């Protein structure tokens, strides 16, 4: 069950979240088809933007929506920074295990902020909320992190799964043993349901390139 805490819609009435649960997945250390997808995306991004000023990329949908959100917290949108590194510095997309790599490819292609989790480590129901600035959780690098007041976050019955500014937690991170995965997409004001659905379907397609027998357990968009 997914619940929306009232404060979420009060503070961010137009924001929404995409949820994709996939079962019977494999998290391979490497996969040649994903490697080819990465190289194709790198070429596409460079072909589209390398001969243009960075501001053209910065003003390309949906990046301005995230830039505006992050600016509230004196932060910059890291996916935009990663795209710039690929386009203007010829940096490759990092090689990681296949489930995370599928998420990264879709994230860099579509510009939508995404977090991945081991679904079997998620406990109970999922809720969407806005931080009061007092919540804590252990982030991926293993450190305790206090949320910024006003940041959107997703939690289960045990604790926080991810927040926009500080990213996913350590407790439910995807591992080589992950067999069921959960992907969540944060969509602040300015990003449509259609944008989110397309992005989730792209992740699904990439995961199924690696594991054709993987099944979609849930694909849902909730919020404003």
Query: Any idea what the CATH number is for the domain that residue 153 is in?
Result: 3.50.40.10
Split into its structural domains, the chain has a count of 1
CA–CA separation, 47 vs 38, rounded Å? 14
**Pairwise CA distance, residues 153 & 135, whole Å:** 10
205 part of a folded domain: yes
Residue 69 lies in a domain: no
- Quick: pLDDT tens for 65-101: 999 999 999 999 999 999 999 999 999 998 999 999 9
State the sign of the Cα–Cα–Cα–Cα dihedral 96, 98, 103, 107.
positive
Q: Which domain holds residue 141?
A: 2-29+97-223
User: Is the pLDDT confidence value at 6 over 80?
Assistant: no
pLDDT band at 181 (very low <50, low <70, confident <90, very high): very high
User: With helix as H, strand as E and coil as C, how does the chain read?
Assistant: CEEECHHHHHHCCCCEEEEEEEECCCCCCCCHHHHHHHHHHHHHHHHHHCCCCHHHHHCCCCHHHHHHHHHCCCCCCHHHHHHHHHHHCCCCCCCCCHHHHHHHHHHHHHCCEEEEEEHHHCCCCEEEEECCCCCEEEECCCCEEECCCCCEEEECCCCEEEECCCEEECCCCCCCCCCEEEEEEEECCCCCHHHHHHHHHHHHHHHHHHCCCCEEEEEEEEEC
Round to whole Å and give the CA distance between 12 and 104: 26
Q: What is the model's pTM? A: 0.96
In a domain, 17, yes or no: yes
**Mean predicted confidence (pLDDT) in 106-129:** 96
Please state, in angstroms and rounded to a whole number, the distance separating the CA atoms of residues 28 and 19. Answer: 22
Q: Is the pLDDT of residue 7 over 90?
A: no
Residue 91 lies in a domain: no
Q: Is residue 82 part of a domain?
A: no
Query: Is the residue at 90 inside a domain?
Result: no
Residue 173 covered by a domain = yes
In a domain, 68, yes or no: no
């Amino acid at each position: 069950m997914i619940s929306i805490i009232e404060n979420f819609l009060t503070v961010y009435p137009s924001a929404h979240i995409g949820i994709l649960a996939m079962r019977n997945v494999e998290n391979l250390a490497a996969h040649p088809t994903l490697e080819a997808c990465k190289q194709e995306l790198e070429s596409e991004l460079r072909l589209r933007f390398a001969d243009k000023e960075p501001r053209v990329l910065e003003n390309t949908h949906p990046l301005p929506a995230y830039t505006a959100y992050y600016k509230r917290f004196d932060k910059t949108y890291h996916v935009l920074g990663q795209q710039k590194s690929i386009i203007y510095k010829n940096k490759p997309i990092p090689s990681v295990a296949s489930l995370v790599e599928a998420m990264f490819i879709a994230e860099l292609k579509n510009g939508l902020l995404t977090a991945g989790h081991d679904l079997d480590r998620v406990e109970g129901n999922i809720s969407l909320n806005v931080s009061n600035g007092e919540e804590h959780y252990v982030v991926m690098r293993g450190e305790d992190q206090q949320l910024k007041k006003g940041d959107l976050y997703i939690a289960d019955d045990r604790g926080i799964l991810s927040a926009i500014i500080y990213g996913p937690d350590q407790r439910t991170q995807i591992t080589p043993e992950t067999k069921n995965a959960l992907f969540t997409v944060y969509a602040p004001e300015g990003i449509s349901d259609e944008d989110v659905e397309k992005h989730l379907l792209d992740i699904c397609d990439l995961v199924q390139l690696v594991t054709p027998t993987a099944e979609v357990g849930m694909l849902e968009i909730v919020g404003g």
